[in-house]
Amino acid sequence: MAHVLVTGGSGFIASWCILELLQSGHTVRTTVRSAEKEQLLRQQLHAAADFDDARLTVVLADLQSDAGWADALTGCDYVLHVASPTLRSGGASEEEMIAVARGGVLRVLSAARDAGVRRVVLTSASGAIVYGHKDESRPFTEEDWTDVTADIAPYQKSKTLAERAAWQFIRDESGGLELAVVNPTAVIGPLLGPDDPPSLRTIRGMLRGDLPAAPPFGTGWVDVRDVADLHIRAMIDPAADGERFLAIAGRSLRVIEVARILRQRLGNEAAKAPTWEMPLLLARALSIVNPALRSLRPQLGHHFPATSAKAENLLGWRPRPIEDSIVDTAQSLLAHDAVGRDRSTDSAERR
């Protein structure tokens, strides 16, 4: 079994990666930005699985600082770089977002190379693949890259440029370090604890009645448990070296389709989910004055088709039916009393 560092251990995807690693017998070290997060993380993991607590070490490190990374990586065979730096002030410019995202990736890669790590698995996003294209007549694949010169959100641009910087580092400065990249679509699935990941905000908003009409777009969706499984496969399979892997369960679903699944499967618990899709012209007009729709303008009218055939064929990855994941997400939000919350949403989990 291997020694694995998982960055950003308190995050939605990272915590499921840690759980998957521990259940597979690996020894895990994970980074958090504040010491207070360690106890809650351990409690959540122990509530989900029985494991030897000595196989999990929690250390402090921040992607915007060099401090702590050399110690965090000492003795590690692999790194799952899941954490994504976020600028929580809310007023960050596009240039700042790009610089922070790129800098965080390069900081981890450099420290991993210097520590003699075998392979880094980077959590990128489908946002580095599917945006800025006019032609959606075929599913996007790992050969595609988001067009950063198009009208796209700063977050997608930062993820694209950060991943490109990672591949450039491997070409120029790797020193033998291997890289594999996972590009998830919209990540949903059950919570490990009473946290509030931004990636669940669409389903949370439907349950809460925040969406009187579904915005007119579609996207890929994938279960966080399957994303964690893909990370582990990309970590240990020799065939994953130098490869990107899109993660989508089945086909792209429009937001209104997700709402229908919730209403059909959950009945009264999803009674506030929208029953109709807003016309595209109306959505575009309202996006001028409505902040929620304004943030969705790059998505309106698109359906971002994608395929995970590469991960399925090369690594044997098999995602669960997305309909089940949608229901599991809603039931978990309800069970953790997370539907009524209205916290500010960071970009770390948006795909």
The residues assigned a catalytic role are 159
In the 8-state DSSP scheme, what is residue 300?
T
Report strand pairing: 178-184 vs 56-60.
unpaired
Burial class of residue 118, CB neighbours in 10 A (0-12, 13-18, 19+): middle
Tokens, residue 85: 């730096």
Q: What is the DSSP string of 42-80?
A: HHHHHHH----GGGEEEEE--TT-STTHHHHHTT-SEEE
Tokens, residue 121: 């698995």
- Going by C-beta distance under 8 Å and a sequence separation of 6 or more, which residues neighbour residue 302? 136, 217, 218
Burial class of residue 51, CB neighbours in 10 A (0-12, 13-18, 19+): middle
Q: How far apart are CA 188 and CA 338, in angstroms?
A: 14
